[in-house]
Amino acid sequence: MRKQLELVLQALLAAALAASLAGCAATRPPARIQSAVHTINRYMPEYVAESNKALEAVDHPDKERLTGIGDRLAAAIQALDAWANGQGKDGNEEQ
């Protein structure tokens, strides 16, 4: 009897977790957040390019690491913008 109860509880936990993750994947952020992320994404590549250029000009000792951080940040913001606007990984609208 105890094994059955444990199995039922595990199944309920798994179902609750799956439902929670499905809800997160299907929910888009509010319009003001979408707009803010889109604005950041619009200017981020320019900021990163200017920062990388400045790092090169002064021959900063951590320029490689900082350039990589900027590039990854720009890519992350672009992915966040795509998600906020309902686009999948391939750039197409999600259903």
Residue 89 pLDDT more than 80? no
Instruction: Characterize 31-63 residue by residue with b for buried, 16 or more Cβ atoms within 10 angstroms of its Cβ, and e for exposed.
Output: eeebeebeebbeebeeebeebbeebeeeeeeeb
Predicted TM-score (pTM) of the model is: 0.59
Residue 89: helix, strand or coil by DSSP?
Answer: coil
Please state the φ and ψ torsions of residue 41, each to the nearest 5 degrees: -65, -35
- Comparing 17 with 60, the larger pLDDT belongs to 60
Give which of 40, 29, 52, 49 is closest to 77, Cα–Cα: 40
What is the rounded distance in angstroms from the CA atom of residue 8 to the CA atom of residue 14?
10
Of 26-30, 67-71, 76-80, minimum mean pLDDT range: 26-30
